[in-house]
Structure 1
Amino acid sequence: MSRTGRMAGAVAIGGALGALARAGIELAVGVGGDAFAWPVLLVNVLGSFALGALSVLALARRAPQWVGPALGTGFLGGFTTFSAYVVGAEVMLGSGAALLALGYALLTPVLCVAAAALGTQTVRLVHGSPGPGRPAQR
């Protein structure tokens, strides 16, 4: 199998596992009933934190080439969900909760960017991993 085929397989397997993990969280937290899409917000914030942490770990530890595609693009891509975020906002809007929809639509990206930044900083503090412009520690 070619390198491209192995990478595509790693992304596909990671994506399937990430989607299953998201479905598990949605089942555990409960989907529906509430006007606010808490499970979607939760997985997007957790996934953003994890992607921030993964990006620093993969670079600092010189991870194998498959790690980024399998865990970042695959698992975390399947775990997080932009489409459900948009649908959640649309459902809130359609049910007459315009302010709730606006709050959700604005809160999600702000929290996700903050979570990604927190993930990178947490790994840098815990593992002494390099920041931008600093060489990796050996």
Structure 2
Amino acid sequence: MLGRLRDRERAEAVALHPHRGRTPRPGLGPRVIAEVAMGGALGALARHLLGEAIPASETGFPWNTFTVNILGCLIMGALTAYLLRGRPHPLARPFAVTGYLGGFTTFSHLIDGVYTLGDDGRAALGIGYAAASVVLGWTSIAAGFRIGRRLPHREAGEEP
């Protein structure tokens, strides 16, 4: 499995950075920083709005954070697979994946929910929440990859 992950990372680097087969050094120019920051701000705002729209559970289960994180995993899988199939704009990944999805999903809220459930005497629910988040997150990423591979993709030089 680790070998497949390395192969995927290598393929992603070549697809996203077609610089004579080499992965370029990370660039943190002002434009990339602005794209990540803008994407992060929009993703965090979307997370907040969606989180507020999901009602609180009587059991204390953090459905809002759970839903946002699983949805973010699905989108991340689909977007990554889609970006790997073409020549995306160099700022597409910093804006959409690192920025937007980084601001939209949140590991710290997941851990806070696990801690809060345990602190309230519902450790089993907290462990179930953590386990369900990992299993369904992984499943959502895999489903997103399948969806992303099936999305129609415009080839270079094609008219929109």
What TM bracket, shorter-length normalisation? 0.7 to 0.9
**2:118 aligned partner:** 93
Change (3 A) 1:126 1:13: closer
Shift of 1:32: 6.7
State the partner residue of 2:108. Answer: 83
Task: Give yes or no for the alignment of 1:72 onto 2:72.
Answer: no
Instruction: Specify the code of the residue in structure 1 equivalent to 2:91.
Output: W
What letter matches 2:50 in structure 1?
I
SS at match of 2:29: helix
* Structure 2 unaligned spans of 5+: 1-26
TM-score, normalised relative to structure 1: 0.86
Counterpart among 21, 25, 44 of residue 50 in structure 2: 25
Identity of aligned residues (%): 36
Q: Residue in 1 aligned with 2:13?
A: none
Which fold has the larger relative contact order, with Cα–Cα distance below 8 Å and residues 6 or more apart in sequence? 1
CA RMSD of aligned residues (A): 1.9
CA distance in 2, matches of 1:97, 1:86: 14
Q: 1:46 to 1:5 in 2, by over 3 A?
A: same
In terms of fraction of residues, the more helix-rich structure is: 1
Give deviations 1:19-76, integer Å, cap 9, x for gaps.
0000000111135754100010101001011111111111212110100010000000
Contact 2:57 2:63 in 1 (8 A): no
Larger Rg: 2
Structure 1 alignment gaps of length 5 or more? 130-136
